[in-house]
Amino acid sequence: MVKLGTNGVTYVSEDAFPALFQATKPKAGYIFENQIDDKDKRNVDGTDYAHSSAVVGLLDKKSQEVRDAEKQAVLQYSRDSLINVSDSDQAQNIRRQVDIFTNKTLPKLRSQRGVEHDEVTGEPPEKGFAFHHSNPKELHTDPEDAIDPSKGINVNPNNHSDIHRNNVNDEKQLEEYIKQRNSKPEGSA
């Protein structure tokens, strides 16, 4: 019913939803399909899972909205149980191992990306040419995204600094930034 991923993240199978949400199987299926965001879902070996943080948030919301004291207690117990699994020593140890791996992988992203020009301006690489995450790691913490070379761009140092100076914080803002930079007349920054 609950799976600890190799990234240290706890996932909850769709099959667990009836018990967790105190709902019939069809209603639990509706909750999984319509109240859990698609970005929080994974399919592993034919089983559908949801990221535990999405499930915990929804359990908490529903426990505050329900008027039946017994159902409220079960929803809160489900929420707290998932938090305990996510905070377990085993999960923490896996996350530490993932952090070590991530820190070794981050310096390789620029070459793994395979793009040898500044992806904002098209200019050739300069000293300090680096990989920039489209979704900054500080705000978007999915460990799988942090080491995915398709989740960023290669840029020269001046553009990299400018991106940070302009507080570009997600893919949409980065696309807009690139569009604006490329629409400026030559010579303006």
| Residue 83 within any structural domain of the chain | yes
pLDDT interval class at 18 (50, 70, 90): very high
User: 69-119 pLDDT, tens per residue?
Assistant: 999 999 999 999 999 999 999 999 999 999 999 889 999 999 999 999 999
**Percentage of the chain surpassing pLDDT 70?**
97
Instruction: Answer for the pair 9, 52: CB distance below 8 angstroms, yes or no.
Output: yes
**Mean pLDDT on 27-39:** 97
Residue 1 has a CB neighbour count (10 Å cut-off) of 12
Domain span at residue 158 reads 102-183
Question: How far apart are alpha carbons 39 and 58 in whole angstroms?
Answer: 15
| Residue 170 within any structural domain of the chain | yes
Number of domains observed in the structure of the chain: 2
User: Does residue 43 register a pLDDT over 90?
Assistant: yes
